[in-house]
Amino acid sequence: MANAPASCVRDPVTGCWTSGAPLHWEQPCVTYSVVAGGAPNLGFDATAIDAIVSLGFSLWPTVACIDGFPSIAVQATLPISCDRPEHNREGPNANAVIFRDGDWPHDPTAVGVTTVTFHPETGKILDADMEINAFGQPLTTLSLEYVIAHEAGHFFGLDHSSDAAALMFFRYSPFGAEAPPALTPDDQGAICQAYSPARPIAPMCDPEPERGFAPECGGDVFASCNVTSLPRSGNAAGLVFAACAGLGLVRLSARPRTAAGRRRHRPAS
């Protein structure tokens, strides 16, 4: 975490945050919105991109927990036009999935960046935007599925796992993948703990952002979590799911699930 407060420390063994509030979507349903146009630089039209994104998100709410399913559901909206990550705290928003074909403003080795805006005291997620590097990375269908599935974990508030087999592990090699991504027991335990089937929720749920949905831009950004590609060495190319960075971004660990926020964050109004 960039500029973390003194009270926010990681366990030296597990690497998990030892204080703070877990990041989570408070409502039991949430939407994501794919920017219109697909990813032509990668050879994917809008229909193909929608299918890949849907697969990545659907892995998480369908996990069979001990006492049911995670108390979170996700659905797609119509395509949007806003092609940058942002959060408008006083107006409508969209949780965007952006495929950047024309440029990549982040580290050139990064494959994906997920930006999460949250309430610093409660950990309530207010907005999440995912950017995929379709400009400088040769992503195939399978590798893209892995990146989307991993970033979807961050969308739900999960941190990196210390389990090397987990989808949320900070490093793996999807470029040589021969099968679609799948959640390991560690990943499953993380989403079940973050969204316990037993948590009290309202009987009705509006999946739109709390101040309404808008397909256009008009807000501001707080922080981000990124995925980094390692330099290739023969066929041993890999991805590094790097540390979150930005204005006080706090990540949520697979276990235990805690996070702490900088007071510079503007509280939810």
Tell me: pLDDT of 69 over 90.
yes
Question: Is-contact 210 79, C-beta < 8 A?
Answer: no
CATH topology of domain 29-246: Collagenase (Catalytic Domain) (3.40.390)
DSSP-based three-state secondary structure for 161: strand
User: Would you call 141 helix, strand, or coil by DSSP?
Assistant: helix
Determine the pLDDT at residue 219. Answer: 52
Count of all residues that appear for the chain in the document: 269
Contact 17, 81 (CB under 8 A): no
Check if the beta carbon of residue 223 is closer than 8 Å to that of residue 119: no
Cβ(81)–Cβ(174) under 8 Å? no
Mean pLDDT estimate for the chain = 78
pLDDT score at 238: 37
Count other Cβ atoms within 10 Å, centred on residue 62: 12
Whether pLDDT at 55 is above 60: yes
Residue 252 has pLDDT above 70, yes or no: no
Tokens of 46: 């809008």
pLDDT tens-digit map of 118-131: 988 899 999 999 99
pTM for the complete prediction?
Answer: 0.80
For residue 254 the two structure tokens come to 């697979």
What pLDDT, on a 0 to 100 scale, did the predictor assign at position 225? 53
pLDDT computed for residue 172 by the predictor: 61
Q: Which range (82-86, 158-162, 244-248) has the least confidence?
A: 244-248
- Return the half-sphere exposure (C-beta side, CA atoms, 13 A cut-off) of residue 269: 7
d(CA 168, CA 151): 9
Task: Kindly give the interhelix angle for 185-194 and 141-155, rounded to the nearest 10 degrees.
Answer: 30
Residue matched to tokens 């999960």? 158
Q: Where are the domains positioned within the chain?
A: 29-246
- Residue 240 forms beta bridges with which residues? 171, 228
Question: Which segment, 65-79, 174-188, 233-247, is predicted with the most confidence on average?
Answer: 65-79
CA pair distance 124, 259, nearest whole angstrom: 11
What average pLDDT does the segment 208-217 reach? 89
Express each pLDDT in 173-200 by its tens digit: 656 667 899 999 999 999 999 999 999 8
Contacts of 105 (CB under 8 A, 6+ apart): none
Helices and strands (DSSP H and E) totals, the chain:
3, 9
| Alpha carbons 151 and 229: distance in angstroms, whole number | 14
Q: How far, in whole angstroms, is CA 174 from its chain's centroid?
A: 17
